[in-house]
Every structure is written in C-alpha cells, then in structure tokens.
Structure 1
Amino acid sequence: MQKLLITGSSGFLGWNLCQVAQQNWQVYGVYFSHPAENSAINLKIDITNFAALKQLFSEVKPAAVIHTAAQSQPNLCQNNPQESYPVNVTASWNIAGLCADYNIPCVFTSTDLVFNGLNAPYKESDPVSPISIYGEQKVMAETGMLERYPQTAVCRMPLMFGAGSPHSQSFIQPMLNSLRAGNELALFIDEFRTPASATSAAKGLLLALDKVHGIIHLGGKERVSRYEFMRLLLQVLEMKEAKITTCRQQDVKMSAPRPADVSLDSSLGFSLGYQPLSLREEFKFLKTQNLGIKS
C-alpha cells in the first residue's frame, strides 16, 4: 500500500482519520505529545521544526499528506497567539511547500470559524471574515498554503463529534459524563453549526486527496444549535433524566469571540461523493458500536 502521512494523529480528528485511512493506506501518524493508540506507524516530531519536517519527508517519502495538526482551542489562541502561530500557520506553510517539492497530494484541515457568522450558510466562494485569532490564523494558513502549492485541498471542517482515544475525546464525552453525574448543562440556542462525525469527516478528507484542488466545505447535512444537538443525542441515548437548559452566547464570558452561525453549505462536497449521515443516524451508529457514548 502507498504511504499516507497524517499530522496530528493523536488528536481527535487525526486519530479517527488514521482508523479510516488504514483500510487503504500504510499510515504514518505524526504526533508531538502522545502517540496515537492505533496501528499506524507513530512518529514523534515537532512540526514547527522545519529541519525535522524536511528530514521526515525525506525518510518516509509519503505518497500523500493530510495535515490535521493544529492548536485548535480558540480561547488558547486568543490568549497566546505567539504560541499557536508556529503550529497553525508556519508549519502549515512549510508542509505545503514540501508537498509541492515532492509533487504529492496535500490536504489541509481548516475550519468554519474563518467566517463571522453573519451570512450563513457559507459556500466556498464566500469571502472569509474571521472574528477570532484562531480563525485569522487558519485564514493565513489557507492563503499561504495555496500560494505555495495551488494543488492543496483546503477542507473547512465543521463542529465534529464521535469516539476517540483516551487522549483525544470529542466535546460530547465530558458533557455526557457531567449529565450522568446529575449535573445540569446549559447550552447555546443562538450558536449554529453543521456538525459531522469524525468518521464522516475523515472519509471526506480522503475523498479530497483524489478529487479536490483548492477550497471545499465538509460540513454535515443539518444546521443545529448546541442545544438542539444535545437534545437529539440524549433522545437517541434514551437519557431521560438528563437535565439540559438553554443559554445565549452573551451569558458566557469567553476569551475568543464566537460567531453566531457558521453553517457550511457543503453541496460541492456532496456532489463529489461526500456522504455524511444524518445526526440521528450518526448517534444511533455510535450507540450501537458502543464507541464512548453508551447510554
């Protein structure tokens, strides 16, 4: 099998991507803090070190690269932009440049937070307008990567959920644990996204390797608020005693500004074969597979 290099392989999306990709690729997973608990060939490297990155490409000689590694916590980026910039921007530019040197497919995971939330649903052709430093850094990464290597597939990802490794849970696990402990959870009714499972998103990224040059959106099929999302999940899991209530963005103080509605129009991806399941189907599948969200 051909070699696929995946950065951020111990992160939530990267870990799930490794599971899906191993069906057709020899996967080399690049991590920094924790080795991914999967059957990928794990390689510890600091991707902000260009010399080490260059040596990695020379030794592995990948047939393709999917770059998921990032500092993806908006509040952390807002408070420490000088720490997140080398990972989110510089390393991304360098990876695109190396892929150009080797003339191999390059896929980059960007975010729906490149938009300001005022004109959803967003198509690939809509102008970017980030309101957080994390969003700004992802825009810089997108622009610089496409300048260095126009063949790059820039995949704007939605809110993602699902199972993961002990080091890379999605946002739903701590919420469910809190609810099971009898705590009440307040969730936004005025923040909208188009969520997709990490498994569906991973399949979209692998599709982009073959079919995409430039920007593509890989959102889910449904626009929901955080409250609507959790209410449906609890319904599928039959957690009738769980206590959730509503709140608004203005009720919660956060370092990074959050856009109200960054729903993605993923029609282009759907036309190419990207097929995320409905949220209800995704939740039923996760429950059936007992992947970390059993009721």
Structure 2
Amino acid sequence: MQTIAITGATGLLGRALVKIFKTQYNIIGCGFRRAAPPLVSLDLSDQGAVNNFLDEYAPDVLIHAAAERKPDVCETDHAQTLALNVAASEHLAAQCSQRGIRLFFISTDYVFDGTQPPYNEQATTNPLNFYGQSKQRAEQAVLSIDPGHCVIRIPVLYGEVEYLAESAVTVIAEQLKASPSGAHDDWAIRYPTHVEDIALTLADLVALPAKKLGGIYHVSDTQAMTKYQMARTMAAQLGVDAEQLVAVPEPTQSAARPHNCALQDTRLHELGIAHHRDFASAIASVLSKHL
C-alpha cells in the first residue's frame, strides 16, 4: 500500500484529503499548532525537521496543502507569507525530487488578474495581490526544480467546517446571522468548490502512472457566483429574507481581488476526470450542522 503524506492536514482541504485518501492509502497527515495524534506535528520552516519527516515516513506521494491563504493577512505580513507559501514549498519540492517522491502542490486561481477568463493551464499569470504573487513564485520554483511535480490550481473552497468563519464561503452564513440586512460583494465572480471534489480529483490523479503527470492542473466547479449570490442562496436556510440583503457592486477588501478567475480544466477533461456538485444542496448540507 502506498503512503501519502499531506501537509496542512488540520485545515479545511487537508481534512477532506485525509478522509478521501485513507480508504485506499496509508496516510501520514501533518500540521503544526493544531496537530494532535494521529497527525504529526511538523514545522515546515524547519528544514531539518522536514528532511527528517521525509526520511522517517518515506511517502510515495506528498500533497502540500499547507499555506497562508487569506489575502488580507498576506498583504500585511509579507515575511511570514514568503516563508510558508514560497520557501517551504521550494524546499519540499527539492527534497521530494531527491527522494523520488511525487509532489502535488496546491495553488490558487489568484495567480491570474481576472481580466480575460476563462484561464487554461498555459495562460499567463499576473497576480494582483501578494497572496497570488507568493503562489506564483512557489509554482515557478516547484516546476523548475522538477517538471514531474504537479501544481493544482483551485478556487475558493467550502466543505465540512469546524466553525463557519473557517471558509470564505461559510463565513457568509455567519455574517447573515449577525446582520440579516448586511451588504455583500456583488462584483467578484467566484466558483465555490467543495473540498471533497478537490480530494476526489487528486485521488484520481494520484492513481495514474507518474509518467503521465507533471505540470499544472486546474480543478474548479463551474457555478459562477458572487458572494451576494451565495448569501441569497444561504438566506432561506438561515431564516433570513434575501430581499433585505444589500449588493455591493464594487470591491471593498484591502487586498486587491481579481474580477473573474474562471479556471478551464483542459487537462482534467482530457483525462476524463470530473467531480462537481450543486452548490445550493451542498452548502445546505454543510450549514445544517451549524444551525
């Protein structure tokens, strides 16, 4: 049985990866501050500890899902963002290459500026904020070290959250509960994607021979929605009158966001890999556990 190591296993995507992969593989999940057995505590900024981890567990595949993903946080702390999103990823890529470990690096649609969607895997990147810039640099480092490594670009995620503010999607429900007539962004077009669909897609990719892989893959659902539209979708379940909600037609966050970063999953389509679900029913299932 192959061994799959997963960084960021305490996070939203990481937990879904563990859930999906543990049915077929030996899983070594790691985190940092929130890691508790059976997860392994690993400081990705400690290169010696990373090397020891890879030598001790000798995974066949490493899925690198750990990152600082909040654009506004990245904008205010460049040093920490570079340490985790770039330096740690570059080191993992080099060490995995030396040991013959297949690396899947989780990136973002924010490497694009959102002006010419949809974007295929070969499209020119032009990130608008520091989060996107850090991921762009990491992508370039990972693939320059080993073209056999895989970069997985994903959009905004939702799924089984530990608390509503854990996801940029489910936090909208928390905002609705606090302010039933609040304002929500109706400018940026997003493609909310369930973390289990990302995990299922990765499971399909991992099952393929390594010689067939390498390079960039886009994984995204296809329902285009602004946060205002997501809020209207969630309103009824929360007992909120959707007609009270206020649409904000221009961006308001401190870190610049792209208008529309639709990811075209050309390579997955060629492989016959597709995992999607209806947003309305999926988000209803997620929220039902928090009402």
Scaled by the length of structure 2, the TM-score of the pair is 0.90
Unaligned 5+ runs, structure 1: none
SS at match of 2:261: coil
1:16 paired to 2:19: no
Map 1:235-254 → 2, pairs under 5 A: 235=236, 237=237, 239-241=239-241, 243-250=244-251, 252=252, 254=253
Q: Residue in 2 aligned with 1:76?
A: 73
Which amino acid in the other structure matches residue 68 of structure 2? Q
The 1:140–1:230 alpha-carbon spacing in structure 2 relative to 1, beyond 3 Å, is: same
1:262-281 correspondence runs (5 A)? 262-272=261-271, 273-281=273-281
Preserved contact between residue 120 and residue 261 of structure 1 (Cα < 8 Å): yes
Write the deviation string for residues 236-264 of structure 1: whole angstroms up to 9, x where unpaired: x37353542200334x2x33111111111
The letter for the 1-side match of 2:2 is: Q
Letter in 1 for 2:215: G
Counterpart of 1:232, as a letter, is: T
Q: Which residue of 2 aligns with 1:144?
A: 141
Q: Provide closer, same or farther for how the CA distance between residues 150 and 262 of structure 1 changes in structure 2, counting only shifts above 3 A.
A: same
1:132 matches 2:133: no
In structure 1, distance between residues paired with 2:261 and 2:204: 23
- Aligned residue for 2:56, secondary structure, equals helix
Contact between 2:185 and 2:248, CA under 8 Å: does it hold in 1? Answer: yes
Q: Which is further off, 165-174 or 22-31?
A: 165-174
State the partner residue of 1:86. Answer: 83
Q: Rate the CA distance shift 1:178–1:284 in 2: closer, same or farther, 3 A.
A: closer
Secondary structure class of the residue paired with 1:66: strand
The answer for the alignment partner of 1:255 in structure 2 is 254
Equivalent runs, 1:1-295 vs 2, <5 Å: 1-35=1-35, 41-165=38-162, 169-211=166-208, 212-235=213-236, 237=237, 239-241=239-241, 243-250=244-251, 252=252, 254-272=253-271, 273-286=273-286, 290=288, 292-294=289-291
Shift of 1:195: 1.6
What does the per-residue CA deviation read over 1:8-31, in whole Å, with 9 as the maximum and x for residues that have no partner?
A: 111111122111111112211111
Deviation per CA, 1:188-207: give whole Å up to 9, x if none.
21101222111111112222
* d(CA) in 2 for partners of 1:238, 1:270: 36
Structure 2 contact 43–49 (Cα < 8 Å) conserved: yes
Paired with 2:263 and 2:281, the residues of 1 have a C-alpha distance of 20
Report SS of the residue matched to 1:108: strand
Q: CA deviation at 1:282?
A: 2.4
Shift in alpha-carbon separation, 1:4–1:41, aligned structure 2, 3 A: farther
CA distance in 1, matches of 2:61, 2:133: 26
2:62/2:103 contact within 8 Å kept: yes
CA contact (8 A) 1:105 1:151 kept: yes
SS at match of 1:233: helix
Deviation larger for 276-285 or 82-91: 276-285
Which aligned segments of 4 or more residues in structure 1 are displaced greater than 4 angstroms? none
Cα displacement (A) at 1:275: 1.4
The CA distance in 1 between the partners of 2:147 and 2:165, in whole Å, is 31
Contact map agreement 1:16 1:198 (CA 8 A) in 2: yes
Percent of aligned positions that are identical: 25
- Give per-residue Cα distances to partners, 1:99-145, cap 9 Å, x unaligned: 11121221010000000010011111110000111111101100100
Aligned amino acid, residue 258 of structure 1: R
Structure 2 spans left out of the alignment, 5+ residues? none
- SS, match of residue 105 in structure 2: strand
Give the aligned CA root-mean-square deviation in angstroms: 2.1
In 1: Cα distance, 2:184 partner to 2:164 partner: 24
> Could you tell me how far apart the structure 1 residues matched to 2:163 and 2:10 are?
10
Q: Matches of 1:249 and 1:26 in 2, distance apart?
A: 47
Q: Please say if residues 34 and 167 of structure 1, whose CA atoms lie closer than 8 Å, have aligned partners that are also in contact.
A: no
Q: Distance in 2 between matches of 1:195 and 1:82?
A: 29
Normalising to structure 1: TM-score of the pair? 0.89
User: What is the CA-CA distance between 1:7 and the residue it aligns to?
Assistant: 0.3
